[in-house]
Structure 1
Amino acid sequence: MKHKVITLDGAKASGAKGDIELNDDVFGLEARADILHRVVNWQREKARGTARPTRERSDVARTGKKYGNQKGGGTARHGDRRAPIFVGGGKAHGARKRDFNPSLNKRVRALGLKMALSDKAKNDNLVILENLDVKEAKTKALIATISKLGFGKSALVMDGDAVNEAFSKASSNIPRLNVMPAAGANVYDILNHETLVLTRAAVEKLEARFNG
């Protein structure tokens, strides 16, 4: 499919650069809610840290020697210094380890990313820029520029190998405007923003990622 390429000034790119041919295998798929749901759940689970356990009586490194004789000591008949009632003993009914490390087939993950990209293209929430070159790293000037481009309430901007440094600095204080290189493309961030903004270099990187 063909898609219009614009500049940061809002004008259509000149000459043959005015349009870009998007690969239908990457940007032309029919999105499936079940696939996107699986990938987002996998991604959010992978982001969770391991819940650390507490040490119970079998985990504490203390001697198992009895405190004293079974009889004749005049005290309770304790048989283990690791019991929870003693200082330094194990915790009774403590937290158990919970390790969030789900697995998901690579093909499903790749398909989910393609569907997320296709969903933005199909619903006219995809903007393709020639590049992210700005004259100076000024937030106020960048806000005035992007207000004409129809980024919506939130936008995710992707560049090629690395994000333009001046653009990255200028956009760092703009709420709901996030930038990343194409290598960081993921389903959750794409779906979590109203508009997806790709540079020509980002499109090439994403298509090469699936065709390589």
Structure 2
Amino acid sequence: MEVNVYNIKGEDTGRKVTLNDSIFGIEPNDHAIYLDVKQFMANQRQGTHKSKERSEISGSTRKIGRQKGGGGARRGDMNSPLLIGGGRVFGPRPRDYFFKLNKKVKVLARKSALAYKAKNDAIVVVEDFNLDTPRTKDFIEITKKLKVSDKKLLVILLEANKNVYLSARNVIGANVQVISGLNTYKVLNAGVVVFTESALSAVDNILI
């Protein structure tokens, strides 16, 4: 599959690049995508949730009613989960949500996500570019000329570029990512993926 290469003015340079069929042309594996996205979302969780159980509530331990004959459930003290202000039964505790995922599965998931974008013609290739200063206005102008300003945007660069990152930071729906941190979730979450030429040529080294 071939795609045109554009410059930041939105003009066709007359050159084409070929998308690697072993990445962009595979049959997407939905289960691999599910597992990779699930792991990504799990890793975003802090896991610091905590509620107090019966033994952790501060209150009197005096028995407040008879064991039997009251017509209701048995309750010992004011800390009982049966009463308002009592401890919680089996409440959440701090934990780590991390789980292991094999590298081959993660690679397959990223390939599958890119394959979906290729099938939907949601991949744009642009010449390598740089911004002299961080200006949101300049970044918005580039997206308008590339005709992607109305979509969720993922821009993938070969290396970190502070000016490009800062220029896109305040643009709603825009995200800048280096190719080494290519992420299944962010690819799928974007309406269109914009590769710089150098980043696209480096995809093979990361996913093959």
Q: CA deviation at 1:191?
A: 0.7
Runs of 5+ unmatched residues, structure 2: 57-61, 64-77, 80-86
Matched, 1:99 2:104: no
CA distance in 2, matches of 1:40, 1:32: 13
Classify 1:21/1:96 alpha carbon distance in 2 versus 1 (closer, same or farther; 3 Å).
same
Q: Bigger shift: 184-193 or 25-34?
A: 25-34
CA distance in 1, matches of 2:147, 2:141: 12
Q: Which of 113, 117, 121 is residue 114 of structure 2 equivalent to?
A: 117
**Within 5 Å, which residues of 2 pair with 1:35-114?**
35-51=32-48, 93=89, 95-114=92-111
Q: Which of 12, 22, 25 is residue 22 of structure 2 equivalent to?
A: 25
CA distance in 1, matches of 2:204, 2:111: 10
Matched, 1:171 2:168: yes
8 A Cα contact 1:30 1:118, kept in partner:
yes
Classify 1:57/1:135 alpha carbon distance in 2 versus 1 (closer, same or farther; 3 Å).
closer
8 A Cα contact 2:125 2:197, kept in partner:
yes
Q: In the alignment, which residue of structure 2 is the partner of 1:156?
A: 154
Q: Bigger shift: 45-54 or 26-35?
A: 45-54
Secondary structure in 2 aligned to 1:153? coil
Q: In the alignment, which residue of structure 1 is the partner of 2:11?
A: 11
8 A Cα contact 2:4 2:16, kept in partner:
yes
Structure number with larger C-alpha Rg = 1
Runs of 5+ unmatched residues, structure 1: 60-74, 77-83, 86-90
Q: In structure 2, what residue type is equivalent to 1:2? A: E
1:108-127: CA deviations, max 9, x gaps? 11100001111111111001
Q: In the alignment, which residue of structure 1 is the partner of 2:59?
A: none
1:46-96: CA deviations, max 9, x gaps? 22123466788999xxxxxxxxxxxxxxx99xxxxxxx98xxxxx885643
CA distance in 1, matches of 2:88, 2:118: 55
- Structure 1 runs (4+) deviating above 3 angstroms are 51-59, 91-98, 134-137
8 A Cα contact 1:182 1:206, kept in partner:
yes
CA distance in 2, matches of 1:103, 1:161: 28
Q: In the alignment, which residue of structure 2 is the partner of 1:209?
A: 206
8 A Cα contact 2:51 2:88, kept in partner:
no
Query: What number of residue pairs does the alignment pair up?
Result: 181
8 A Cα contact 2:29 2:108, kept in partner:
no
Secondary structure in 2 aligned to 1:19? strand
CA RMSD for the aligned pairs?
A: 2.7
Secondary structure in 1 aligned to 2:151? coil
CA distance in 1, matches of 2:174, 2:52: 44
Classify 1:54/1:166 alpha carbon distance in 2 versus 1 (closer, same or farther; 3 Å).
closer
CA distance in 1, matches of 2:18, 2:50: 53
When normalised by structure 2's length, the TM-score is 0.74
